[in-house]
Structure 1
Amino acid sequence: MLNTRWWQPFVVVLVVLGGMYFAAPNLYPRASQDENNVVQNFVPFPFLPYQVNLGLDLQGGSYRLVRVDLEDARASYMEDVQRIGSSVLRDQGVALRATATDTSVRFQFRDEVAMLGAREILRQQFPSALFSDQGSSLTVTLGDDAFEVVKQETVQSVRDTIERRIDAFGLTEPSIRIQGQDRILIEVPGVSNIDAYLEKLALTIHIVKQAGVSRNPNETLFMMLEDSDRILGPGEQPTSYLIEREACVDGADIQGTGVGTEYGVVVTFTLNSRGSKDFATCTRNNVGERLAIVLDDKVISAPSVNEPITTGSVQISGGFSFEEARSLSTLLGTGSLAAEVESIEERVVGPGLGAESIRSGAIACIVAMALVLLFMTLAYGLLGLMANVALVFNLIMLLGMLSIFGATLTLPGIAGIVLTVGMAVDANVLVFERIREEARAGLDPSDSVASGYGAAFSTILDANLTTVFAAILLAAFGTGPIQGFAMTLTMGILTSMFTALLMTRLLINLWLDGVKPSKLPI
């Protein structure tokens, strides 16, 4: 009677070939960007460009722990109340003037009746805000409970914006995690400086009241800003502008960006429907005046309004080089940070240290593999050699699985691979010891193998399931390197179960069917 089922060779060969196919791209150089930021892929056809990503500790890169300025979040929320509230009320035909501070917004209306109607509209727009009125004025503030919600939303928004910025530049596998109430941990492999991704980049457009001023006559209504250094020539002194505090539009209204070079290098962007409407109203009411385009509290352009701009298309000519314009365009397209961030811990891991980690990890894997192969050969003879063949393919399939899922390999992940080697051998040891016991009890080779695998199966399954559950908990509650260890360990257990229970048994059964030995060499 044949020991090999008809379907076993097909399943094993199919899975092994699949593992080799997805592991093969890792033999080629990793994808990189050329001087034009075009991604170059070195994996040839017919392979898919799936490769294992290297973590910060293996590739080198930046580690940054930042703190989100939550008081700045309150001020940003008040600015949103002023901007959005003013826009909504004006759409309803309500005449008003709004002024904002870091903690409140004051709306001034023509009379008390207009104030009462506006209050109901604003309450629907900002249900968590607090409202107090006096005569024809209405003050909007933020209560403690509402501020807690704003803080959580702000930290999450900052984290998401940083991730979008890093992704927009094609940087692979950043790890960006919120820690505690106001901290964000950022790990970006392959990049030594991430300062540009942490700039707030608050872009706003204001009406210029007067240029060349030396003092601000009304801090509530106006603010004084100077030209950005980037637009000044050698020895040129910056101009001070008195501009209205209330912005016509801001970065939240930007929906598309680009770079133009027809008449010098400019950054172009288009506004969404709300921004286009506000900008059209602003320019229509201020023909002949100047606009101040402000980036991070510096004026980068101050063009004159020659006619109403109703298309929602804006150009910024700020003395940019092409690379600066492209970088600014990309960053503006991902949105402004909801609050300022402050670096409180920073480390740069050099690529040399990462290469040393890879070399040390590879040596550990090779030594572990060599010792295991030697032990299995000496302890179990021919059956041990079959297990060794399966063990080699186990690592190949593990590499293929990591590539398919785009996993990030870290130094703890390499430790997980080394542990997987031991786990794979453990299953074979259990099976072979049971086979040896059955053979000593007088069973023939075929019955000994069948009985050995049958008796050891439940033990192997229980042991591996227990480890998988532990790895799942590590992945769920751990962070960064711990998750990398848990992922490689889980995938390694799956591949080792396959090779130990299917592949090794297939090799043994094929040998039994072909040779028909009278005694097992074990």
Structure 2
Amino acid sequence: MINISFPKQLMIWITVVVGLMFALPNGFYGRVETHNDAMAIIDTGVTNDALAADAAQWPSFLPSGLVNLGLDLRGGAHLLVEVQVEDVHASFLEGFWPSVRDALAAERDTVGFVTREDSPPTELRVRISEAAGATRAFEIARSLATPVASFTGAAATNIDVRLNGTLLTITLSDAEMSAMNERTILQTLEIIRRRIDEVGTREPTIQRQGAERILVQVPGVGSANEIIELLGTTAQLTFNPVEGTTGDPDASAGTGNMIVPAQETAGLYYILERRPVVTGEDLQNAQLDFDQNGRPAVAFRFNTSAAREFGDYTLENIGSPFAIVLDNEVISAPTIQSHIPGGSGIITGNFTIEEATNLAVLLRAGALPAELTFLEERTIGPELGADSIAAGQVACIVAGIGILLYMVLSYGLFGVFANIALVINVGLIFGLLSIVGATLTLPGIAGIVLTIGMAVDANVIIFERIREELKTAKGPARAIELGYEKALSSIIDANITTFMTAVILFTMGSGPVSGFAVTLGFGIMTSVFTAIFVTRSLIVIWFSRTRPKTIEV
């Protein structure tokens, strides 16, 4: 007598219900997405009636995970950027000059006066006045080199020094350039990922291409320009003391100072101390806020050490202005009214809410180490994605109807059971995709269509085995039981090999191949579950109620 214990029946149908519950939000995609976006904003502490109305579009007690739609289905931005690693090389040599100057100045009696000469960004040229001290100057410059781990494993230093008469030429070594380029690309990747994740985009693709290029694909944005604006700002933030103002950008700033334009006032330039009090690297947090007049602003907080330095500076300079400099522009120059302990403050200006939010995102993510050049930019419209989704839906519907008809015509009532399991199978696939937050692409839809075709294979094997057992004059219950037992090994063997293929495709492939492998792998798991457990459970429930003397498969 075929039978499934009540606890096992309960576990089967609890699994089905839970899987379908997680798949349910995808049937109300727009409403759930609006709910999720509103909840993400509310979780940051911002709330209003509009956000509350958006959040109420989906019950909070139901799952709200969605299958993320890829770039080919939803549209979005496709960018190929190149990292200008030469900027980092030049910045390093610029910062290395004070060390060289101070080291040589300490032995002025031997090397004479030290001056820096014009040179390409990739070189640092230093002239000494005493020819007799050239060798000593060379040794001093060489002593400033530090070890660097090279890819060959050989010992290497970070700089090369050449001596030509009284001229020292300092350049980066090949090992240092390779290591610096690698660090720069990895840091840029991380900062780009942080910036895009901060604005709440769903499943962006950010991956390295070649030595100095990065591919960025962001589904769901209206224009590539939105991402360019987000990534095109290096977000180098500094807090500098103000020495004065001028209307002449070519005026003499004085030793140790620099002239920086004001962002909001044309023709106004600030004379600032070159050395900042603190920098954006010391920020611990930055977020959207509002000033005392209700205008958008950015609230920030420094880490412990920077907070102490900032507090000491404000205590000693009450009544003096200081400048907040972002990407070589003064965005605000407030006057210090009182001691600011704790390292917290607010950046005010003529910001819109969007501008203040983006600035907070940039400051939280950190400054890019080098400038980005956009080599390729494309905006994929949502119309193309809608056409792809429509084509995928048609393919799924046609495949599904064909299989449903075939199973009913071939196996009668048992075919109906298989069809019910097939519908559950598709729902479970979307439930799994929602749980893991996977991205569905056009190849992923192809994987679902293929799964629909493969899903009934196991049922066909089982039903054919039941037919064979019925021919041996066994009773219906025994025939059904033997059919499932003898078909099990064939089902497991066939699906394990296909699942191994899906794992290899996911591991070795990327992009479309990976998306196809994910849906194929999930489809195999759900189809085996529905064929072995769900269909059998339906048959057991039907058989226990009707007790047929004979069955036709």
Residue 312 of structure 1 corresponds to: 343
Q: Which amino acid aligns with 2:517?
A: A
Residue 334 of structure 1 corresponds to: 365
Contact 2:66–2:434 (Cα < 8 Å) also in 1 = yes
Matched, 1:226 2:256: no
Structure 1: gaps (5+ residues):
90-96, 108-115
Greater shift, 253-262 or 243-252, is seen at: 243-252
C-alpha change, 1:79 and 1:169, in structure 2 (3 Å) is farther
Instruction: Please show how residues 425-464 of structure 1 align to structure 2 within 5 Å.
Output: 425-464=456-495
Residue 19 of structure 1 corresponds to: 19
Residue 48 of structure 1 corresponds to: 63
SS in 2 for 1:337: coil
Contact 2:284–2:303 (Cα < 8 Å) also in 1 = yes
CA distance in 2, matches of 1:317, 1:122: 43
Residue 72 of structure 2 corresponds to: 57
Give how far 1:395 is off: 1.2
**RMSD of aligned alpha carbons:** 4.2
Greater shift, 476-485 or 381-390, is seen at: 476-485
Residue 374 of structure 2 corresponds to: 343
The structure 2 residue matched to 1:30, chosen from 18, 28, 32, is: 32
Greater shift, 369-378 or 259-268, is seen at: 259-268
Greater shift, 36-45 or 442-451, is seen at: 36-45
CA distance in 2, matches of 1:243, 1:3: 84
C-alpha change, 1:250 and 1:44, in structure 2 (3 Å) is same
SS in 1 for 2:63: coil
SS in 2 for 1:206: strand
Residue 252 of structure 1 corresponds to: 281
Greater shift, 30-39 or 351-360, is seen at: 30-39
Matched, 1:10 2:10: yes
Give how far 1:496 is off: 0.4
CA distance in 2, matches of 1:315, 1:196: 23
SS in 2 for 1:348: strand
Q: Which amino acid aligns with 1:337?
A: L
CA distance in 2, matches of 1:271, 1:242: 25
Contact 2:2–2:478 (Cα < 8 Å) also in 1 = no
Contact 1:176–1:187 (Cα < 8 Å) also in 2 = yes
Q: Which amino acid aligns with 2:12?
A: V
Matched, 1:354 2:388: no
Contact 1:76–1:338 (Cα < 8 Å) also in 2 = no
Instruction: Please show how residues 189-208 of structure 1 align to structure 2 within 5 Å.
Output: 189-192=219-222, 193-198=226-231, 199-208=233-242
C-alpha change, 1:220 and 1:509, in structure 2 (3 Å) is farther
Identity of aligned residues (%): 40
CA distance in 1, matches of 2:395, 2:162: 72
Give how far 1:516 is off: 4.0
Greater shift, 284-293 or 424-433, is seen at: 284-293
Give how far 1:43 is off: 2.1
SS in 2 for 1:30: helix
Residue 165 of structure 1 corresponds to: 195
SS in 2 for 1:31: helix
User: Normalization by structure 2: what TM-score?
Assistant: 0.77
Contact 2:185–2:212 (Cα < 8 Å) also in 1 = yes
CA distance in 2, matches of 1:202, 1:412: 41
SS in 1 for 2:301: strand
C-alpha change, 1:272 and 1:471, in structure 2 (3 Å) is same
CA distance in 1, matches of 2:345, 2:170: 32
C-alpha change, 1:488 and 1:146, in structure 2 (3 Å) is same
Residue 111 of structure 1 corresponds to: none
Contact 2:318–2:336 (Cα < 8 Å) also in 1 = yes
Give how far 1:214 is off: 4.6
Residue 408 of structure 2 corresponds to: 377
Q: Which amino acid aligns with 1:43?
A: W
Residue 110 of structure 1 corresponds to: none
Instruction: Please show how residues 121-160 of structure 1 align to structure 2 within 5 Å.
Output: 129-130=158-159, 142-160=172-190
1:152-208 per-position Cα deviation (integer Å, ceiling 9, x unaligned): 222222222222222222222222222222222222222122123202111223345
Contact 1:200–1:340 (Cα < 8 Å) also in 2 = yes
Give how far 1:104 is off: 7.4
C-alpha change, 1:471 and 1:47, in structure 2 (3 Å) is same
SS in 2 for 1:269: strand
CA distance in 1, matches of 2:82, 2:291: 38
CA distance in 2, matches of 1:133, 1:206: 36
Give how far 1:422 is off: 1.1
SS in 1 for 2:412: helix
Greater shift, 284-293 or 466-475, is seen at: 284-293
Structure 2: gaps (5+ residues):
43-50, 104-113, 127-138, 150-155
C-alpha change, 1:15 and 1:61, in structure 2 (3 Å) is same
Give how far 1:247 is off: 3.6
CA distance in 1, matches of 2:532, 2:519: 20
Matched, 1:321 2:349: no
SS in 1 for 2:214: strand
C-alpha change, 1:516 and 1:146, in structure 2 (3 Å) is same
Matched, 1:186 2:216: yes
Give how far 1:284 is off: 8.0
Give how far 1:495 is off: 0.7
Give how far 1:421 is off: 0.8
C-alpha change, 1:211 and 1:286, in structure 2 (3 Å) is same
Q: Which amino acid aligns with 1:197?
A: L
CA distance in 2, matches of 1:284, 1:81: 32
Give how far 1:36 is off: 11
